Amino acid sequence: MSIIFSGIQPSGNLTLGNYLGALRNFAKVQDGNECYYCVVNQHAITVPQDPQMLHARTRQLAAIYLAAGLDPDQSTLFVQSEVPEHVQLGWIMTTLSYVGELERMTQYKDKAAKRGDSIPAGLLTYPPLMAADILLYQTELVPVGDDQKQHMEITRDLAQRFNRLYGEVFTIPDILLAHDGTRVMSLQEPTKKMSKSDENQTATIYLLDEPKDIEKKIKRAQTDSENAVRYDVKAKPGISNLMDIYAAVTDQSHEEIEAAYAGKGYGSFKKDVADAVISVLEPIQQRYAALVATPELDDVLTKGAAKAHAKAAATYENVIRAMGLYR
């Protein structure tokens, strides 16, 4: 049995990237493990959020977790801001972090570049809060997409730094990548990852997109003029991205896909990619619609916060004892 933790920010509508890179695996690993899945709303406020939107998206994300197969009897599902130890340990992790190592994070550099002269300090101190999320539960495995590798490395560094200074309090967590390591790219700029904060809506497939929109977006996805379904990320990033998506949703290899579409053009391939994506997302959308406005969802989150809090408080107590941070 392993302890597993992961989180998603309610900072925009979830994308196919979030699903294939992370969310899909949350349900797969829950059997026989102790799992914690969090709506990390305090991470979301590292960039400005509209209060009503943030509130609505927090609830929507929790419903999507359940719709994607999380079983509240097996996994603990909760909202970060309802367990105060996250920011408490986050502060301690901030004091253990070096400005230089935080400034080297690519996610920080990307997000800071969009903020001109007014870079919120929370963007810089995002990784120590993420480390706190993970370390509070004595987590062993963290299922995330490969864009989170750097954040996982700093989490391990901070845990080791703390243990060296104050004694063995934290378990050192490992990253758990999806077996196919899918990084879903933008449909319009396939050298850039698909992101919930992309302003170009045609570049992104959202989990709750209508089937006709999914079809339209995939049909318009950037490809090349060769018209041959062949995997080559460098020379053909657009078609390779569609092949990655198709491989992930149909469980086929690139070779199998190339063989099946030999001599056929992009039109028929794109149609099949769209159908396959729709058939995976439609059942999730139906479960989501049935759940999002129910009191059962609140019940799951209230119980989840209590369970998470019990575990987090025990670790936090060990932390403040080890540091002398008590009266």
Q: Which stretch binds ligand TYM (CB under 6 A): 89-97, 108-116, 142-150, 271-279?
A: 142-150
Torsion of CA 231, 235, 237, 243, to 10 degrees: -10
**Binding residues among 78-107 for ligand TYM as defined by CB under 6 A:** none
Is residue 184 part of the contact set for ligand TYM (CB under 6 A)? yes
Q: Which is nearer to ligand TYM, 43 or 236 (CB)?
A: 43
Integer-rounded Cα Rg, in Å, for the chain is 21
190 touches ligand TYM (CB under 6 A): no
Asked whether position 177 contacts ligand TYM by CB under 6 A, the answer is no
Supply 173's token pair: 């967590």
Instruction: Pick out the residues of the known binding site for ATP.
Output: 9-11, 17-18, 145-147, 184, 193-197
Active site residues: 111, 193, 196
Closest distance of CB 126 from ligand TYM, Å: 7
Residue in 89, 134, 205, 247 binding ligand TYM, rule: CB under 6 A: 134
Among 4, 17, 72, 188, binds ligand TYM (CB under 6 A): 17
Q: Does 7 bind ligand TYM (CB under 6 A)?
A: yes
Q: Map the footprint of ligand TYM across residues 24-83, applying CB under 6 A.
A: 40, 43
Q: How far out from the chain centre does Cα 201 lie?
A: 19
Annotated binding site: 9-11, 17-18, 133, 145-147, 184, 193-197
Q: Cα-Cα-Cα-Cα dihedral of 39, 44, 50, 56, to 10°?
A: -10
Could you list the residues known to form a binding site for L-tryptophan, using ranges. 133
Q: Which is nearer to ligand TYM, 223 or 241 (CB)?
A: 241
Closest to ligand TYM by CB, 178 or 278: 178
Helix, strand, coil: what percent of the chain each, to 5? 55, 10, 35
Choice from 159, 194, 277, 278 touching ligand TYM (CB under 6 A) = 194
> Phi and psi for 325 in degrees, rounded to 5?
-95, 55
> Which residue's beta carbon is nearest to the bound ligand TYM?
21
Q: How many positions of this chain bind ligand TYM (CB under 6 A)?
A: 26
DSSP 15: B
Tell whether residue 193 is a contact of ligand TYM (CB under 6 A): yes
Tokens of residue 12, six digits: 């925009």
Query: Cβ distance 207 to 15 under 8 Å?
Result: yes
Note the helical H segments in 97-148: 99-103, 106-113, 121-124, 126-135
Copy the structure tokens of residue 159: 């845990």
Nearest one of 197, 173, 175, 201 to 187, comparing CA atoms: 201
Task: Name which of 38 and 274 has its Cβ closer to ligand TYM.
Answer: 38
Measured between alpha carbons, how far is residue 38 from residues 104, 202, 282 in Å?
26, 28, 24
The residue ranges that bind ligand TYM (CB under 6 A) are 5-9, 17-18, 20-22, 40, 43, 130, 133-134, 142, 144-145, 147-148, 151, 182-184, 193-194
